[in-house]
């Protein structure tokens, strides 16, 4: 089975953990697996032709930013290798069974949600009508089977197939080689902008022993120097985090660790933060999103903004490098709520800030909300979804894109004051990451200037 990572129009590259989980599950079920990563490959279509000579199945992952490239790849396979079976999976095709029907000519099977079980069943040649959590072509029809249960026994999953990628081919922050790990799936908060339908709202965890075994495996077999935690909500179960950190400390692994996905801004536990620091965590993103409580409430985040400053001050005194995550441009944002967000950001501690202009994704309540208001949203047939800040994501009658963009620019200008930049550089120098991070930023700059629509 050939696993394919389609292109995306971004200025950094990163391995796709979900597909590596799927590949190791397929391998365990008996498949011969290979991976072709379009973003990090030169002349990927020639490679595709070559690699396809030894595979009957092509399994393509797609999130929204890859959907267009995925359709081009599937089209190419259909035309040049019509006998191959094309399997789709990932957040984008999972978003709606309707999507699967939109691409019948480009897909034989669409795996919906977590795909480890289904891929093993497909490798085993199980009858398609009996496999939960897939949609498949049957003559001229596209059948959609009932959804599969979420995977409870996460310890039972194989470790991701890291042997299939060359980690140094990717450009992402932190010390190299850096690897990704996921210690839990699911998040109970179900924010309306999030595609919760992949991992669901039930909080499922791996055992501390299993996580530790994977970390040691990454260090010993792949030379990992840094581990990035890819969890949906890492700090929700504080006792579990503390036990994990104690075990990591007792093993004296000497690894650096980060939490890029963003932790909740109301989970504030100094004992946990101190243990995390001793275990090797040095960078954390804190998901605040907005300074307007009404906006937070409409998002369904269930965050009491009054708690943010306390959490931040504890993270700061524990010695973390802190990134602040904000969103702007929701259909219920106003120039005033965005101005408040900008003011909050500039008034609080933090070394980095990301102000994301919101893009409503298919399958989310936010997407429905925009459609209900008559806004135009991006469709995969429109080409690469653009995450360029200058491009309008959807038509918002109460906030023009020009105004949003002006506020967005002012957010960065006002956050990155000379003293904030000096503080961030000092922090990076102190933790020894200045050179690595500067190299990453320079590479991103070059990628940004030289990237083409692929
Ligand atoms: C970590 C992360 C990132 C990382 C790494 C992305 C990467 N390349 O893997 C970074 C920070 C780089 C990133 C960037 C972006 N991300 Co992001 N990211 C995530 C996050 C938090 C976790 C993804 C993950 O690895 N999960 C762990 C693995 C195990 O799960 P998984 O990938 O979903 O895979 C499972 C299933 O989907 C399925 N599956 C996946 N592929 C396949 C393929 C086959 C053949 C099969 C059978 C099954 C299958 O089985 C897997 C195992 O169960 C999710 C949110 C979430 N909780 O899902 C958002 C998410 C994937 N990101 C999203 C988006 C939009 C982006 C960006 C476009 C944001 C931006 N504006 O730049 C970019 C796109 C970058 C890119 N091209 O990949 C959206 C995608 C929405 C959608 N409907 O497609 C999500 C779902 C967040 C959201 N808003 O809801 N992201």
DSSP-assigned letters across all residues of 309-368: HHHHHHHHHHT-EEEEEEEE--TT--HHHHHHHHHHHHHS--SEEEEEEP-PPTTSHHHH
Measured at the CA of 367, the angle between CA 364 and CA 368, to 5 degrees, comes to: 95
The number of the ligand 1 atom at minimal distance from the alpha carbon of 16 is 9
pLDDT over threshold 90, residue 399: no
The whole-angstrom separation of Cα 26 and Cα 118 is 9
pLDDT over threshold 90, residue 156: yes
- Give start-end residues of each CATH 3.80.30.20 domain in the chain: 173-453
Q: What is the pLDDT of residues 103-155, one digit of tens each?
A: 667 899 999 999 999 999 999 999 999 999 999 988 878 899 999 999 999 99
Q: Percent of the chain having pLDDT more than 90? A: 72
Q: What is the pLDDT of residues 385-397, one digit of tens each?
A: 666 777 777 777 7
| Distant-in-sequence, close-in-space partners of 194: CB < 8 Å, separation ≥ 6 | 187, 364
Phi and psi at residue 34, to the nearest 5°:
-140, 160
pLDDT over threshold 60, residue 452: no
Q: What is the pLDDT of residues 165-212, one digit of tens each?
A: 999 888 888 888 999 999 999 999 989 999 888 899 999 999 999 999
Topology (CATH level 3) of domain 2-144: Rossmann fold (3.40.50)
Contact 169, 40 (CB under 8 A): yes
Q: Which residues line ligand 1 (CB under 6 A)?
A: 8, 10, 14, 16-19, 21-22, 59, 61, 63-66, 87, 89-92, 95, 111, 114-116, 119, 182, 194-195, 198-199, 230, 232, 261, 361, 363, 387
The whole-angstrom separation of Cα 365 and Cα 330 is 12
pLDDT over threshold 90, residue 90: yes
Confidence label for 330 from pLDDT (cuts 50, 70 and 90): very high
Going by alpha carbons, the residue nearest to atom 63 of ligand 1 is: 63
Contact 23, 29 (CB under 8 A): no
- Give start-end residues of each CATH 3.40.50.280 domain in the chain: 2-144
- Once rounded to an integer, what is the mean pLDDT over residues 76-97? 90
Contact 40, 170 (CB under 8 A): yes
The whole-angstrom separation of Cα 97 and Cα 145 is 9
- Mutation probe of ligand 1 site: the residue of 63, 152, 358, 378 with most atoms within 8 A of C-beta: 63
**Burial class (CB within 10 angstroms; exposed 0-12, middle 13-18, buried 19+) of 374:** exposed
pTM for the model stands at 0.94
Residue 114 is classified by DSSP as S
Q: Percent of the chain having pLDDT more than 70? A: 94
* Superfamily of chain region 173-453: tm_1862 like domain (3.80.30.20)
DSSP 204-228: EE--HHHHHHHHHHHHHHH--SEEE
pLDDT over threshold 70, residue 352: yes
pLDDT over threshold 90, residue 216: yes
Confidence label for 453 from pLDDT (cuts 50, 70 and 90): very low
Mean pLDDT of the chain: 91
285-289, 316-320, 435-439 — which is least confidently predicted?
A: 435-439
Measured at the CA of 186, the angle between CA 364 and CA 301, to 5 degrees, comes to: 55
Contact 167, 176 (CB under 8 A): yes
């Amino acid at each position: 089975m050939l696993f394919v990572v389609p292109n995306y129009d971004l200025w950094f590259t990163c391995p796709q953990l979900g597909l590596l989980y799927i590949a190791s599950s397929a391998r365990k079920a008996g498949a011969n697996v290979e991976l072709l990563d379009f973003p990090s490959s030169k002349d990927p279509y020639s490679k595709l032709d070559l690699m396809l000579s030894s595979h009957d199945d092509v399994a393509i992952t797609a999130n929204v930013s890859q959907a267009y490239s995925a359709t081009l790849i599937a089209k190419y396979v259909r035309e040049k290798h019509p006998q191959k079976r094309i399997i789709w999976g990932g957040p984008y095709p999972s978003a709606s069974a309707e999507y699967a029907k939109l691409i019948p000519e480009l897909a034989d099977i669409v795996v919906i949600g977590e795909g480890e079980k289904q891929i093993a069943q497909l490798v085993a040649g199980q009858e398609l009508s009996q496999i939960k959590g897939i949609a498949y072509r049957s003559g001229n029809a596209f059948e959609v089977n009932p959804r599969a249960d979420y995977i409870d026994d996460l310890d039972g999953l194989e470790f991701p197939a890291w042997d299939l990628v060359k980690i140094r081919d990717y450009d992402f922050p932190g010390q190299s080689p850096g690897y990704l790990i996921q210690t839990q799936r699911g998040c109970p908060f179900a924010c309306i902008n999030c595609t919760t339908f992949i991992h669901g709202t039930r909080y499922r965890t791996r055992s501390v022993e299993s996580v530790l075994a994977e970390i040691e495996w990454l260090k010993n077999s792949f030379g990992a120097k840094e581990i990035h935690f890819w969890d949906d909500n890492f700090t929700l179960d504080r006792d579990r985090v503390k036990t994990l950190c104690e075990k990591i400390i007792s093993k004296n692994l000497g690894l650096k660790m980060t939490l890029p996905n963003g932790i909740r801004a109301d989970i504030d536990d100094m004992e946990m933060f101190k243990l995390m620091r001793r275990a090797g965590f040095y960078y954390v993103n804190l998901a605040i999103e907005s300074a307007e409580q009404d906006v937070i409430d409409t998002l369904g985040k269930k965050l009491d903004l009054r708690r943010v400053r306390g959490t931040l001050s504890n993270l700061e005194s524990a010695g973390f490098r802190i990134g602040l995550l904000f969103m702007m441009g929701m259909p219920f944002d106003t120039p005033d709520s965005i101005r408040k967000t900008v003011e909050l950001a500039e008034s609080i501690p933090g070394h980095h800030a990301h102000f994301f202009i919101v893009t409503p994704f298919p399958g989310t309540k936010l997407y429905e909300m925009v459609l209900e208001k008559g806004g135009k949203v991006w469709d995969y047939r429109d080409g690469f979804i653009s995450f360029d800040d200058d491009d309008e994501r959807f038509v918002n009658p109460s906030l023009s894109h020009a105004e949003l963009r002006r506020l967005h620019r002012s957010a960065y200008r006002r956050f990155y004051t000379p003293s904030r930049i000096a503080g961030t550089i000092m922090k990076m120098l102190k933790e020894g990451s200045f050179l690595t991070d500067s190299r990453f930023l320079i590479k991103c700059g070059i990628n940004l200037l030289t990237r083409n629509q692929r």
